Structure 1
Amino acid sequence: MIRAERAADGDYRIVTLDRPAARNALTPADLDALAAAVAEADEPVVLLRGAGSAFCAGADLDVVADLDDPAAFAAHGQRVASTIESADPVVLAGVDGAARGGGVELALACDLRVATPAATFAETGVALGLFGAWGGTARLPRVVGEGAALDIACSARILDAETALNLGLVSRVVADPETVAREVADNDHDAVAAVRRLVRAGSRGESAEATERAEREAFARLHAEQFGDGDRGR
């Protein structure tokens, strides 16, 4: 089950993975509902979090065991992760408790990842004879570097919040991820969106020339919106 609601005290949407008894493991229906909850958000920021004591245990293993078309299931998860990555709002993963397998991959698709002191991360698929196939093999090395990514993915070791912070898997360790969602949402929404698009483009390997041109154009557009043509030269 996926719950989506506008925050009572800020301009952001909270999307909650709400299957606490299953550690918020995701079925195909949950994946579809998650993609819709993010894609349909009209708030400038979306906070993705899990109910109960876990963030997300990844794919529901009962579903995985009975798959008739494993490649199609992997493609399904990849599409959802891509939807999160390309969504208009800034998407923040607030990891409180365990993130495992697909849960890590969904967090990697988000723009920002913050952890509480209780957060842990692991790519445990190799222990089960599988591996995460929702885009994590591409996103993890972009975030933490190839060496650390191979260590995480091949060892199945569990990272605590401080280790995740030191590796760059998360940007902060905070008591409440909502404080970061509010912090981002309190800034100018157009400026934040522009910076997010530019950073994303650069990290995906767009040429420096193309990125710098887009940066100039975005800066000029925002400047015109803030100051107007008539205020030039003041």
Structure 2
Amino acid sequence: MIDVTVAAAGDAASDGDATRDGTASPIRTITLDRPDARNALTVDGLEALETAVDDAEEPVIYLRGAGPAFCAGADLEAVGDLDGDPDRAAAFARLGQRVARTIADSPSIVVAGIDGPARGGGLELALACDVRVGTPDSSYGEPGVSFGLFGAWGGTVRLPRIVGEGAALELGLTGRTIDADEALRVGLLSRIEDEPRTVAEEIAGNADDALRVLKRRLRDDNERATQERREAEAFGRLVNAHAEDVESVLE
């Protein structure tokens, strides 16, 4: 794949796909792999990322960047190649939105392991993930306003939902960069860890079907009564499927 590498669970060549006790971890590791360009994404890179997520059969996906950055966002040369054509620019934005939706809608739990900068579209892809874990050296920003643009891969929808409207407006309108501590404080990060993958492993240790159902329910954007009905039905199915597990906890 161009710009993106994939290590499926159990691959001998995968980087860190074993748990600490040496057993295979049910995690697909997807690496944004253009370290010389801070993992900025071209059209080909976005399409490769979409395919890597869409093809996943593992219950957990761990999304990371190669080298000293998570992702600098859209490749500015690719943006320059749009030649100012509004239709082509809108199509590029829709591609980024589609990839972010693929991440958000994946039946797998997608954990972003963020080390170094997550900027613009890179931040927007992280926002689409279910869990965001940053290292102490990670940083975050939507700098597009400084050169007349803004993040258009779904960030204007997801950022205020995650950090609140006030924080989203301030971050977007100033274009400033925040560090990991501030990102945790405003709710952009779930945790700060030296090794973000440990959170993916923690999640992967749980029942696959429960993970899928819980993600669907927490991601459900229907009105409340519909959400509550679906929640009750899903709980009933899981209780039926895991009756013996529940009994073992009670013993």
TM range (shorter): over 0.9
SS in 2 for 1:49: strand
Normalised TM-score (structure 1): 0.94
Asked if the contact 1:123–1:131 (Cα under 8 Å) also holds between the matched residues in 2, the reply is yes
Normalised TM-score (structure 2): 0.88
Distance in 1 between residues matched to 2:242 and 2:118, nearest whole Å: 41
SS in 1 for 2:140: strand
Which among 222, 225, 228 is matched to residue 212 of structure 1? 228
Which among 219, 224, 228 is matched to residue 240 of structure 2? 224
Asked if the contact 1:117–1:175 (Cα under 8 Å) also holds between the matched residues in 2, the reply is yes
Provide, for residues 192-224 of structure 1, a one-character-per-residue CA deviation record: whole Å limited to 9, x for no partner. Answer: 1111111111xx3x2221111111111110111
Q: How many residues align?
A: 226
Provide, for residues 142-176 of structure 1, a one-character-per-residue CA deviation record: whole Å limited to 9, x for no partner. Answer: 00000000011111111100000000001100011
**1:8 Cα offset (Å):** 3.2
Match of residue 8 from structure 1: 18
**Is 1:133 equivalent to 2:158 in the alignment?**
no
Which among 71, 75, 90 is matched to residue 56 of structure 1? 71
Distance in 2 between residues matched to 1:8 and 1:94, nearest whole Å: 16
Asked if the contact 1:39–1:88 (Cα under 8 Å) also holds between the matched residues in 2, the reply is no
Cα RMSD, aligned residues only: 1.1
SS in 1 for 2:53: helix
Which among 34, 46, 49 is matched to residue 31 of structure 1? 46
**Is 1:165 equivalent to 2:175 in the alignment?**
no
Match of residue 107 from structure 1: 126
2:18 maps to a residue whose letter is A
Give the gaps of 5 or more residues in structure 1: none
Q: Which runs of 4+ in 1 moved over 4 A?
A: none
